Amino acid sequence: MKDNSYLAVMSRKNEIMKKAVGIDYKEFEADGISFDYERMMKETGYTLEEMIEIQGRTGVGNTPIYELRNLTEVARKFAPKGKGARIFVKDEASNPSGSFKARRAANAVYHAKKLGYKGVIAATSGNYGAAVASQAAMHGLDCIIVQECYDSKWKGQPEIIEKARKCEAYGAEVVQLTVGPELFYYFLLLLEETGYFNASLYTPFGIAGVETLGYEIAMQFREKEGRDPDVVVATNAGGGNLTGTARGLIKAGASNVQIIGASVDLKGLHMASDNQFNKKSFTTGHTGFGMPFSTWPDRSDVPRSAARPLRYMDRYLTVTQGEVFYITEALAQLEGLERGPAGNTSLTAAFSLAQELDEDKIIVVQETEYTGAGKHIQPQLSFAKENGIEVIIGDPKEQIPGKNIILPSSPELIKAKDIDMDKLRKSLITNAVKNNKLTSVSNEDISFLTEEINRNEEYVKNLLKEININF
């Protein structure tokens, strides 16, 4: 009988992960901080062309792009003369499960079937669960989705419950847990007991699957507009969306496209706090994931995350909950597209950003997601009120997450805010040193860190000096 206590299971996590993913992460490790990221990404064993073919077999990818002319016109009304960039959206809700995460799941589930696994497991409260369940159904594999769904009073967020419904509709077993450390523990137990494949969001398979999205954007715009877009905005949570899209654009030769991350500002709310878990109206695409995963990617359910957003992010914007609700309604009523909150987070940032850029510039919002009962605005706002959140109309900049949601009284009040990228870079380096218990770093580590934060060696050395680390 194995010891299944919390400490015992956690001590076996590397062994469990190796069997469940088929990757020995130790092969990529070097001494100190660094590891061979690009070699790990090649572990998928699939070229970009092969991934496009794999996804196409289950109807994933080749999604349409729409120009949002009416929203662009509204942005121009509040922009200085000559400003008001054109806004486009890549309609990823057209994928079988209703989001871009079908791209991640298609590769992972295909690989699981190829290796002979009987089933797949994923720990996610978001759209990825539905994507894995959908792909598993197509490939005839069993599927278990583990969700962090409830607080200690067993009150569940409507958006997460909606996603559970969708997973079950595809035939998956859904295991719902309360917020806290038991999620990862129970996930490991299930992997060990079932022998199923870990279809993690953060494996090379998952991130490489999103590369097809970035590649498609470049190819479609060259055909449609005769050039690459100027800016691509990606909603940022765990970082895989932005990372994969950026890598795909680079593989298409579109290396001059500015990559901007966008998250809902939930500053002050702790995502693992029982009494704060239901104080938010967004279950993904918010700073509660976006900030920690940007500044320390290796906090996921694999030893080394393939999602490393600071390698590719040029700028990081935040928007408020009320602003996203407003743009969600505007998209539906002005453009005839009813879509969910994840993609509309980056659309909100794009609406604000368009007013900064010249009229001939092109901004692409690189995803939409399906919407359903629990994702709609009214269930979300009703749930907020039930949890003591005041919902008012006014100026969104006065919002206090966990206290109120302020719907803008006018679209001119929608203003995305910049996050200090230098602070994020410093935090990543601080975390890398701290988590590896180092007082000095090697030249190899410095080279790795220059890639991690996309800055030169002098920049990295100056940050190391600031935190009193020798090199």
Topology adopted by domain 57-96+208-418: Rossmann fold (3.40.50)
pLDDT (average), residues 272-298? 91
Residue 294 has pLDDT above 80, yes or no: yes
Topology adopted by domain 6-53+99-204: Rossmann fold (3.40.50)
Residue 265 has pLDDT above 80, yes or no: yes
pLDDT (average), residues 410-419? 98
Residue 292 has pLDDT above 80, yes or no: yes
pLDDT per position as a tens digit, 341-353: 999 999 999 999 9
**Strand ranges (DSSP E) for 105-227?**
119-123, 142-150, 173-178, 197-198
Q: Report pLDDT for 356.
A: 97
Q: Report pLDDT for 301.
A: 82
Average pLDDT, the chain: 95
Counting residues of the chain whose pLDDT is more than 90, the rounded percentage is: 86
Q: What is the pTM of this model?
A: 0.96
Burial 14-45 (b: 16+ CB within 10 A, else e): eebbeebbbbebeebeeebbbbebeebbebbe
Q: Report pLDDT for 260.
A: 98
Give the three-state DSSP class for 413: helix
Dihedral angle sign, alpha carbons of residues 13, 19, 20, 25: positive
Q: Report pLDDT for 90.
A: 98
Decide if 6-53+99-204 and 57-96+208-418 have a common fold.
yes
CA distances from 253 to 243, 249, 257 (A): 16, 6, 10
Q: Report pLDDT for 269.
A: 87
pLDDT per position as a tens digit, 244-264: 999 999 999 999 999 999 999
Q: What residue spans define the domains of the chain? A: 6-53+99-204, 57-96+208-418, 431-466
